[in-house]
Each structure stands twice: as structure tokens, then as C-alpha cells.
């Protein structure tokens, strides 16, 4: 089995060294390098073109957003896209969470994440899916509610029309928009609730929740709950 090649850009020495050591101990993972600054991290990514780049948003010289943007602009789009980015941010700083989300990384983790969850995020991201920490989802959802609102048809009480997504998804949703109940389920998915918890909160059977979740995934063209949550937050689907 080919190893997942990982690069780490993190300025905190103990965190960086601990992450490198723990990842190298995992079968099927190889850390190809690590750096403490954005400038050196950019050189590392350009030279190694890893499968996964774990990037701290708060670096001493430039932030992680700049690093990711510069890396993707410096290479052919197809080549740059082969490197998936997991952005690390501090849960305590709301603006940093929002900035990390706006950076367009593939996955988002708080810096206090347990190693087991970081490992899960790494594998899911490598498979081409997105992983988002529920803590980050809640902050972005709160910001979305305070700012941009989803577009609602004036005379619509049962369904909602969604914008800010790609044309193919938009056409699917125009033909078959999310219902109010599906939006309620989607909001709880974004907040990190399980199917059992959603059933309890909405007073539904577990079977009904599974049907609604499947409907949400199909309409959003999402392969899993995490991808649906990322799409919902990025596009401002919830008001």
C-alpha cells in the first residue's frame, strides 16, 4: 500500500514535533517534512507536493491562508489540487475560525483536536472528502445567521431555493428544493448531531431521520454528512 505523504506547517515546536512523531508511527503514513513558518512551508509544499498538508492558520511570518493561496497559485491547478489541505485553527478565536473556513481548505480542525480525530480527518481528507470539526461548524453557522441569509421564495412556506453553489447543483435544487424539514435536519447535521440525537430533537423516528438525511445528501450532491455540512456553511444555506 502506498503511504499517504504528509507535510506539517506549524510554528509551535512541541505540537509540530509531537504530530510528526505520532503520524510517522502510523502504518501507511509518511511525514515528508515539517516547517515552522509560512515562507519555508511554501517551499516545502512546492518541493514535496504532499498528499496532505496540515497547515496552522496562525504562523509567525504570514498566515496559513496566504500559504495555501500561494501554493495553489504557484503550480498548475491540477497539480496543486492533488495536495489536500487540513487547516488548523484556534477554537478560542472566532475570527480565526472564520478566516480558516474562508481559506477554502479541504478540512478544518481545532488545534486542541485529539490525535485519533486528526487521524480520522487525515484519512477522510485523503479520500477526497471534507472533515469539519463540529466546534468550527457551530461558529460558522452562528456567523452565517448573523450575516448572509439563505434566499427564500416570497410565497414559499414548504421549500427553500438555494444559491451560491455550482450550476449543476443549483439546477438539481431548483427542480427538487430542500423542504423545511430537510433544512432542519441539515442544520443539526452542521452542528454535529448524530441521527439518534436529531430524532430526539425533532421528535421523529430514527427511520424518518435517515430518510431525511438521505434526501439532503442527494439534493446537495454530497457523498457524506461532512461534505453536506461544508457545502451548507460555505454557500450560506441556513439563515
**pLDDT tens digits for 192-236?**
788 899 999 999 899 899 999 998 888 887 777 777 877 777 666
pTM for this prediction: 0.65
pLDDT recorded at residue 126: 93
Q: What is the mean pLDDT of the chain?
A: 81
pLDDT at 158 over 60: no
Between 82 and 237, residue with greater pLDDT: 82
Indicate the pLDDT class of residue 144, thresholds 50, 70 and 90: low
Helices (H), the chain: 13-24, 38-48, 64-74, 77-81, 94-102, 115-126, 134-146, 167-175, 180-190, 195-202, 206-220, 225-235
**For the ranges 34-43, 70-79, 150-159, 182-191, which has the lowest average pLDDT?**
150-159
pLDDT recorded at residue 89: 84
Amino acid at each position: 500500500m502506498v503511504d499517504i505523504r504528509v507535510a506539517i506547517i506549524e510554528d509551535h515546536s512541541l505540537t509540530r514535533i509531537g504530530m510528526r512523531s505520532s503520524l510517522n508511527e502510523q502504518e501507511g503514513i509518511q511525514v515528508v517534512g515539517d516547517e515552522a513558518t509560512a515562507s519555508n512551508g511554501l517551499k516545502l509544499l512546492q518541493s514535496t507536493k504532499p498528499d496532505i498538508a496540515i497547515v496552522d492558520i496562525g504562523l509567525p511570518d504570514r498566515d496559513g491562508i496566504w500559504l495555501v493561496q500561494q501554493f495553489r497559485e504557484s503550480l498548475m491547478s491540477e497539480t496543486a489540487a492533488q495536495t489536500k489541505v487540513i487547516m488548523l485553527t484556534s477554537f478560542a478565536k472566532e475570527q480565526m475560525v472564520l478566516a480558516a473556513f474562508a481559506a477554502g481548505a479541504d478540512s478544518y480542525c481545532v488545534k486542541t483536536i485529539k490525535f485519533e480525530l486528526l487521524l480520522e480527518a487525515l484519512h477522510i481528507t485523503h479520500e477526497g472528502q471534507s472533515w469539519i470539526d463540529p466546534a468550527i461548524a457551530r461558529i460558522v453557522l452562528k456567523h452565517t445567521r448573523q450575516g448572509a441569509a439563505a434566499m427564500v421564495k416570497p410565497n414559499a412556506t414548504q421549500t427553500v431555493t438555494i444559491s451560491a453553489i455550482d450550476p449543476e447543483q443549483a439546477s438539481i435544487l431548483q427542480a427538487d428544493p430542500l423542504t423545511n424539514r430537510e433544512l432542519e435536519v441539515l442544520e443539526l447535521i452542521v452542528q454535529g448531531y448524530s441521527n439518534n440525537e436529531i430524532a430526539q430533537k425533532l421528535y421523529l423516528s430514527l427511520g424518518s431521520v435517515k430518510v431525511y438525511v438521505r434526501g439532503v445528501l442527494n439534493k446537495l450532491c454530497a457523498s457524506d454528512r461532512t461534505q453536506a455540512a461544508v457545502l451548507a456553511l460555505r454557500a450560506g444555506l441556513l439563515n
